[in-house]
Chain A
Amino acid sequence: MQVGSLVGLSACYVALLFGVAWLGDRAAAGPRRLLDRPAVSGTIYCLTLAVYNTGWSFYGSVGNAARQGWGYLPIYLAPILVLWFGRPVLRRLHAAADAQGATSIADFIAGQLGASQFVAAVVTIGSILAVLPYIALQLRAVSLSFTALSGGAVDTSTKPIAPPDDTVFWIAVAMALFTVMFGVRHSHRSRRHRGLMVAVAFDSIVKLLSFVVVASAIVLHTLRHEPSLFATDASRALLRPHLFRPLWLSNTLVAMLSFLCLPQTFHVSTVERSNPRDAVWGAWLFPVYVILLCALMLPVAAIGVSYYGGAAEGDRFMITIPMAIGRTDLAVLAFIGGLSAATGMVIVATMALATMLCNDVIMPVLLHTPISARWLRRADMSLLIVNIRRFAVIVILALAYASTRITSTYRLSETGLVSFVGVAQFGPALLGGLFWRRATGPGAIAGMLAGLAVWAGMLLTPVTYRPNSLLDPISLCTLVSLLSNVAMFIIVSLAGTSWPRVVDPAGTGQTPSEDELSELAVRFVGAEAASAAFEERKRQSWARLDALDFTRNLLAGAIGIASARVVLAASQRSTLSDQAAWAILDEASEALRLNHRLLWTVLSTIPQGICIFDQELRVSAWNGRFLELLDMPAGVVRVGMPLRQLLDYNHDRARYAKSDPRRLLAPHQLEERQWPYIYERERPDGSVLEISFDRLPEGGLVSTYIDISERHRSVLSLRSTNEQLERRVRERTLALEQARSAAEAANQSKTRFLAAAGHDLLQPLSAAKLFIATLEEQVYVSRPFQGGPPDAADRIAAAVVGAAAALRSSETMIHGLMDISAFDTGVVRTAVGDFELGSVLQPLEQEFRALLGSSLVGLDICHETVTVRSDPFLLRRIVQNYLTNALRHSGARRIGLRCRRRGGRVDIQVWDDGNGLDRTARARVFEEFHRGHGASERGMGIGLTIVHRIGQLLDHPVGVLSIPGRGTCFFVRVPLGRPVPPQAAESRRNEVARFDLNGGEPLRVLCIDDDEQVLAGMSGLLRALGIDVLHEPEAAPPDAMIVDYHLGADINGIGLIERLRVLWGSETPALLLTADRSDAIRFEANSQAIALAHKPVKPDQVKAFLAAARSPRDIVPAPGGEP
């Protein structure tokens, strides 16, 4: 195995530990439900107890078993015995430690024995002396396994390697780093090291698993391949149960006392214990752990002894046996397990020792020395404490590293036992302090010193180990040291009362009042923490603790129990005899207090109300503004008051809507809520608060209250202003609307009046026109043109013609006016549809040709066969007005009509070669009563205005292009329509028809007959020919119609055909069916261009008619309603 890879592996493992500790801290800082669950908490507690099982267990116990057989067991039985049978002791111990706020065993023993600083110091220094070899043992165990695994020198007592190359050194450095990072972070005891404890628990799991796996693999391998190993004499000797030996008793005793007194086990079992129930868990789980761990130790030892022929290498069997059977992986696993066992112990022990060293040795010394005390005034107390502890950690590990050199001649288990015996010296003092009321500090000191002296004298010199002697040195030493310890303890305790308990709560002397005590606490831990603690004390009515004890605990958390007692003692004396200590404390706390005062001042003066809640959502601090803003009577808000209670209180006073606290406090929402949680609340007095809750990094909530009434008011006023504005706009709009509709109504009524007036005006005008026309005709009829000079009759004729023209002109004007008023009042409805443009333009052309008649103006019409979408009637008006305008006003000699397709539209253009229009005229030509220059007197130009109106109505752009002197072109732009089914627009009576029903679309034929049977027969015939039969006329004309003559008493087929043709504007081919063969009907039908078929009708006749109707229909323009 390479050294490098082993180092890497170790580094990885330590890094993993770092990670676990970090995660543990995270879990502890976050919602602590997981770690606070009884099962989790208890399991972790039990696993941390396993810190008792160190590298010694991992390697040394196997070696021990190899040498002594069953003799290795007492070490492991001891804690089980303590946990099972020492329950009352443990309970008492835990209760006392909790009550006292002990941070270490030194603290605790001193606290029990009158808070003597000397006791604490002795315990501390003794512990360091006793435990240092033990820490060194761990480092050595790692080093041992390391060298074994890396195939280095087997002899561990070779000369030391230079530190930088020494694995032990680097392991010590890593452990120091780890302890400093996770073990020494807060000065106050209440900050438990959750992350560290999780890491230690993890360590314990690793070491148990690796040991069980490696050991069982070894045993299985042996059983399978070399079962003879169990049968050797050596292993038989080991496996055979021994008789009772005194060593066992002494070892068990030592181990029991050590389990109680070892700094690391005391720390995990008492200081870090967060829950009383954890002890119960520990009592049941820990034995299981121990049994699992040590069950296979003896078999492995037996195998090793048989294999190697002796117990010399017993401490390394866990590594060497796997390597010997070729299982390097198991060896590596064992290495990891050993490493984990070592680290756990080292870290916790170092941390505990460092705390003790700091609290019970260094701090008292500093506090008692005037020079350092002066220096302390300017120092940050809690930071200083932490730094001292860090320093202590480093010192202790350095010492331990150094002592690896000294103790390297011991075997692992021996070293462990030596430490145990040393630590056991505190047992009498511990138990005595707990149970013996007459125990005194000096007694304890005497006992401990005596015991430690014996221990040092007998064991700290190299000894040879004699396993089979009745009393080996260790047992002997145990016996002697403990006996002398107890003896001295008892004697001195009974003999003297030289050091009475410094502070006896029940004792004489004036007890400081609670106010004084709290003032004292304020000096030291700050106003807030002190008042919070005292409030909490009141609330919880902590059972046995009176104010004095309480204050002492409070202070002890910060400066250790002994120092705390000094402070309290000083305060108790009427004359402050220990002026120096008092001053020091005062000065030391001054800086802290200043900070607090500053903070408090800031909190009190800021305009926000602030209230802080701890992790359990209980009030922990607030400022005056908070009470003011929430209008809280004094005394309602207390430290430790649950948030829910506060909210309930406010709710009862109707300060909250019921849902708010519910929403805020719903537990799942505390986690998932978007932070900060901000809401606004209107208070009964009308002011508005903005309340914001946010989480604190260490758990708990901070709530701030801001009076935003002003902002709220301005928002409200802005809103009301806005509403007012809107209302005003609405009112104004309404007024305008009314004014507009009034104006419109006035305009409409004016227009209607105009229309009515025009209408009435037309009656006499029309009459006058008819009279004049009559007269005109009479003049011409009676007096044809004769030539010669005009006589009186000629003059009359001229006057009549003039009068007729004047009348027509005024009539045209009135019609135009009425049309415009009709467009303005919106009574003109449009009927837009698709139609063939020719059907509008062709009749117009005919009309105009007739109109031009004799005139000299030429007319060019150019058609295009195209379907447009428009209102045929109104479109005709447009084109007609264009043509009329060109004819009347342009002075043209030629007028043209053209259709031009442009994309989806058709431009219908009417052009002339007349005078043309200049720019201004073009712009105004569509305005009312505008007339071009040089126009004749007829008309008032109202035609173009109507064109404009119709163009707007139909959404057809109209316009004019013109070059002055060259001519003008008016146009209207009409959208194309969907082609309509070609209409059978003409009848061609004399045409020879082709009968072809299969070409093109089916014919649509309207079939009308009163007789249902005849109708059904005819319809059947037609449908058989593939024809669409209609029984009722539709808006669009059909291709043909077949009508019975006798439709009823008062209407005949000819009348109906005639009427429909007029309505459709189409000469739809019609076949009249009749039984009447009279000439009258034949003549009438003939005159109306109606085909005739006498009943009974032959299908051939119908076919012939339909063929004619179907024949080409693009030739003849409709003759226009009249034959």
Chain B
Amino acid sequence: MISAALRCPVIVVADDHPMFRSAVFSGLRQHFPDAILSGTGSMEELRPRLRGDPIDLLLLDLDIPGARGLGGLLEVVTGSPLVRTAILSATVSVPIVSRALAIGARAYIPKSLELADLADAVHTVLAGRIWVPQNFRVAGALGDEVSTRLATLSPRQLAILGLIAKGLLNKQIASAMDVSEQTVKEHVSVILKKTKSATRTQAALLASSLTGITVPTNVGEPSNGK
């Protein structure tokens, strides 16, 4: 599977900027001539695509319409855990990189990256490893307490945490995820333990910090609805 992915990987670029998408395509084609490239402009377009043919690599823009903060990433990671997702963003800051990696991004690629580095990142992720920009490869740069705790959550637990953050009850979560309420309860207790949260509310606050994270703390302000 790995070799197949390396040979002719299926790569989806989810970015609302058509010009940038085609620039990425042209760059990737240069390095991955056999890659099957496609693009989507919003989460709405992306969702059916995720349910279709397998995807080896998803390059996901954080500011894609329909996603708030890391919400898009969270949705993809929890909904399609097998899709390797790399964040492609003009926004680069420590907390967001840290959280993104914690909840399952395989790479965090700044848009200003050189083509060679982009190619390197794609290679790395396709090879099954995690890639971060050079300047984040510093001990202590990313590992904060919240992130490390989030990192131990499984995608399913993350999904439940997301639903908790939306204010859903266990029963509603169970029906939304199509599992028994008992299962949800067990997961919730694990989540509370892993996130060191005393209550559901604390956990929900933690989760909502993921979706609200981009606005106050990143460098520069994202403009929605590009």
Residues of chain A whose beta carbon lies under 8 Å from any beta carbon of chain B: 752, 755-756, 758-760, 762-764, 766-771, 773-774, 777-778, 811, 815, 818-819, 821-822, 827-829, 831, 833, 835-836, 839-840, 843, 847, 872-873, 876-877, 880, 983, 985, 1008, 1032-1037, 1047-1051, 1055-1056, 1058-1060, 1062-1066, 1084, 1087-1088, 1118, 1120-1123
Contacts and interface: CB of A to CB of B under 8 A. Distances in A.
Interface stretch (B34-42, B150-158, B163-171): B150-158
A769 B22 CA distance: 12
Please name the 4 residue pairs, one residue from A and one from B, whose CB atoms are nearest each other, closest first: A773-B115, A767-B23, A770-B23, A1033-B148
Contacts of A1064: 139-140, 142-143, 148
A1034 B219 contact: no
Interface in B8-63: 17, 19-20, 22-24, 26-27, 29-30
A1063 B124 contact: no
Given A763-B111, A1036-B143, A1087-B128, A1048 B156 contact: yes
B140 A760 contact: no
A770 B26 contact: yes
B68 interface: no
Contact of B145 (A758, A768, A1034, A1049): A1034
Question: Of A764, A831, A1049, which is in contact with the most chain B CB atoms at under 10 Å from its CB?
Answer: A831
Given A756-B220, A811-B112, A831-B94, A767 B22 contact: yes
Contacts of A760: 223, 226
B145 A1065 contact: no
B226 to A, nearest CB: 7
7 contacts: A767-B20, A770-B26, A773-B115, A1033-B149, A1059-B104, A1060-B143, A1065-B139
Contacts of B27: 770-771, 773-774
A1066 B139 contact: yes
B94 A873 contact: yes
B219 to A, nearest CB: 4
Contact of B220 (A758, A829, A836, A1049): A758
B208 interface: no
A872 B26 CA distance: 36
B91, B95, B129, B149 — most chain A CB neighbours (10 Å): B129
A759 B156 contact: no
A1059 B220 contact: no
A1066 B143 CA distance: 10
B88 to A, nearest CB: 10
B130 interface: yes
A887 to B, nearest CB: 16
A1084 B30 contact: no
Contacts of B199: none
Interface in B70-97: 81, 90-91, 94-95
Nearest to A1118: B139
Most A C-beta atoms less than 10 A away, residue of B145, B147, B148: B148
Contacts of B23: 766-771, 774
A822 B220 contact: yes
A1050 B139 contact: no
A513 to B, nearest CB: 103
A715 to B, nearest CB: 54
Given A760-B223, A764-B19, A1062-B101, A843 B137 contact: yes
A880 B140 contact: no
A366 B20 CA distance: 137
A756 B218 CA distance: 12
Given A778-B30, A1120-B134, 4 more contacts: A764-B20, A831-B144, A880-B135, A1065-B138
A828 B147 CA distance: 18
Contact of A1037 (B91, B94, B143): B143
A1056 B102 contact: no
A1056 B158 CA distance: 14
Contacts of A811: 112
B194 interface: yes
Contacts of A1032: 148-149, 152, 194, 196
Contacts of B149: 1032-1033
A1035 B137 contact: no
B115 A815 contact: no
B115 A819 contact: no
Given A767-B20, A1033-B148, A1062 B156 contact: no
Contact of B115 (A756, A770, A1047): A770
B148 A1058 contact: no
A1044 to B, nearest CB: 12
A1058 B130 contact: yes
A873 B138 contact: yes
B97 to A, nearest CB: 9
Interface of B: 17, 19-20, 22-24, 26-27, 29-30, 81, 90-91, 94-95, 98, 101-102, 104, 111-112, 114-116, 118, 124, 127-132, 134-145, 147-149, 151-152, 154-157, 194, 196, 216-223, 226
B118 A770 contact: yes
B90 A763 contact: yes
A1049 B156 contact: yes
Contacts of B156: 1048-1050
A1120 B137 contact: yes
A1047 B152 CA distance: 9
B94 A1063 contact: no
B193 to A, nearest CB: 8
A872 B139 contact: yes
B38 to A, nearest CB: 17
A1060 B149 CA distance: 9
A827 B217 contact: yes
Contacts of A1084: 128
A811 B112 CA distance: 8
A836 B148 contact: no
B210 to A, nearest CB: 15
B143 A1065 contact: yes
A1036 B144 CA distance: 8
B130 to A, nearest CB: 5
A1063 B219 contact: no
B219 A828 contact: yes
Contacts of B132: 1062, 1121
A315 B128 CA distance: 142
Contacts of A828: 219
A771 B115 CA distance: 9
Nearest to A1033: B148
A1032 B132 CA distance: 23
Contacts of B131: 1121-1122
A1086 to B, nearest CB: 12
Contacts of A767: 17, 19-20, 22-24
**Residue of A763, A819, A985, A1064 with highest tally of chain B CB at under 10 A:** A763
B139 A836 contact: yes
B220 A755 contact: yes
A779 to B, nearest CB: 11
Contact of B154 (A763, A819, A1049): A1049
A402 B92 CA distance: 128
A829 B216 CA distance: 10
Given A831-B94, A843-B134, A1060 B148 contact: yes
B226 A835 contact: no
Nearest to B22: A767
Q: Which among A829, A1008, A1050, A1063 has the highest number of chain B CB atoms within 10 Å? A: A1063
A1063 B145 contact: no
Given A876-B138, A1033-B152, A1063-B102, A773 B114 contact: yes
B216 A827 contact: yes
B39 to A, nearest CB: 12
Q: Which of B23, B91, B128, B130 has the most chain A CB atoms closer than 10 A to its own CB? A: B23
A1029 to B, nearest CB: 15
Contacts of B223: 756, 759-760
A626 to B, nearest CB: 76
A762 B217 contact: no
Contacts of A836: 139
A1065 B22 contact: no
